[in-house]
Amino acid sequence: MALLVTLLLLFPSLVPSTPGNPGGLIENFLPWLGVPILALLAVAVLRRSASALLAVLAAAAVWLAVFGPSLLPRSPGEHGLTVVQHNVSDVNGDPAATARTIVDADPDLVALEELTPSGVAAYERAFQSRYPHHVVVGTVGLWSRFPLTDTEKADIRPEAVTGDWSRGLRAVVRVSPDRDIAVYVAHLPSVRIRPGSGFDTRWRDESAGLLGRKIAGDDSATVILAGDLNGTTRDRGLAPLTSRLGTADEDFAFSWPTAFPVARIDQVLARGAAVVDVRTLPETGSDHLPVVARIRLDDHAS
């Protein structure tokens, strides 16, 4: 069992996607393989088995090699941009309090998902003094300290989804007189664990592919994506995005669910810039925690 856990830590991609997509499921909860390692350690000690103990210690060493750096304190250093990403929940009973939590983090950009008409009005009132520029498309929105010179819908709707479904946008943000960056806000479809199909990510993966192609074709030197991607950056289904955009280590900045966070499915990714630090903010009344990311803008990008 210890050797199996070691193999999963080192080579999760070897676990197949079908049937039931067990590979994708494991990738989303990979840090939690530390729990069976602790249990196996206890068993090895109780059995007084030297070989079992060595196998468990090997698994523990691999876990520390993979995830240990995320546990070490580190300074993000200099950064030029702070972004808050938050799925505010369409049943959030106190958007004004949610807005206060976000404002306290003093971000430059705020990306929100699951917006409702009443919620939009509340956030517009709460943000208007600090974030005079904003755009809302469907259920996603972007508030900015900087002017938005261009905004448009980003169509990421899976083919099988019908009705009024608009969960992506692109905006050009003028962060300085000679510097524009492209910012995408997206809410990918939810995933489900179903008895018949296992870890069902088909719609999310299709949406990620559509968004990945848009970003690949974007000629902006700097691109930032903020959104509820319904998956961690280790999830193979998000490869169309994570292969093109980078972020800071995410392993222990868990954002969902609020009651007992087990994974960070809210992401801030970048190209032509470096996400140097990611952390979560206090609970807001949503089933997600807000994520705040600090980004260092590359000097050569324009």
- Whether 153 maps to a domain, the answer reads yes
Q: Give the closest residue to 239 by CA, choosing from 219, 260, 269.
A: 269
- Among 39, 71, 103, give the residue marking a domain's end: 71
pLDDT value at residue 209: 98
Do 126 and 270 sit in the same domain of this protein? yes
pLDDT value at residue 302: 46
Do 92 and 63 sit in the same domain of this protein? no
**How many CB atoms are located within 10 Å of the residue 175 CB?**
19
Do 283 and 195 sit in the same domain of this protein? yes
- Whether 302 maps to a domain, the answer reads no
The token pair that represents 100 in the structure block: 């206060």
Do 163 and 49 sit in the same domain of this protein? no
Do 279 and 166 sit in the same domain of this protein? yes
Pairwise CA distance, residues 197 & 176, whole Å: 49
- Whether 194 maps to a domain, the answer reads yes
pLDDT value at residue 251: 61
195 φ/ψ angles, rounded to the nearest 5 degrees = -55, -40
Query: Per residue in 17-34, is it b (16+ CB within 10 Å) or e — as a string?
Result: beebbebbbbbbebbebb
268 touches 250 (CB < 8 A)? no
pLDDT value at residue 193: 87
Rounded to the nearest 10°, the torsion over CA 218, 219, 222, 227 is: -10
Do 146 and 96 sit in the same domain of this protein? yes
Do 44 and 95 sit in the same domain of this protein? no
Do 285 and 159 sit in the same domain of this protein? yes
- Whether 51 maps to a domain, the answer reads yes
pTM (2 d.p.): 0.94
pLDDT value at residue 217: 97
- Among 19, 48, 71, give the residue marking a domain's end: 71
- Among 46, 71, 96, give the residue marking a domain's end: 71
- Whether 289 maps to a domain, the answer reads yes
What angle, rounded to 10 degrees, do the helices at 50-71 and 2-10 form?
30
- Whether 220 maps to a domain, the answer reads yes
Do 128 and 47 sit in the same domain of this protein? no
- Whether 292 maps to a domain, the answer reads yes
DSSP string, 94-111: -HHHHHHHHHHT--SEEE
Do 224 and 280 sit in the same domain of this protein? yes
Do 18 and 159 sit in the same domain of this protein? no
Tally of domains in the chain: 2
**How many CB atoms are located within 10 Å of the residue 259 CB?**
8
Domain with residue 247: its CATH number is 3.60.10.10
192-194 vs 198-200, strand pairing mode:
antiparallel
Q: How many helices and strands (H and E) does the chain possess?
A: 8, 13
Structural domain for 20, as ranges:
2-71
Mean pLDDT by 10 residues, the chain (302 residues): 95 92 95 96 94 96 91 74 98 97 98 97 97 98 97 97 94 96 98 87 97 98 98 96 88 90 96 94 97 86 48
Do 44 and 92 sit in the same domain of this protein? no
111 touches 84 (CB < 8 A)? yes
pLDDT value at residue 300: 54
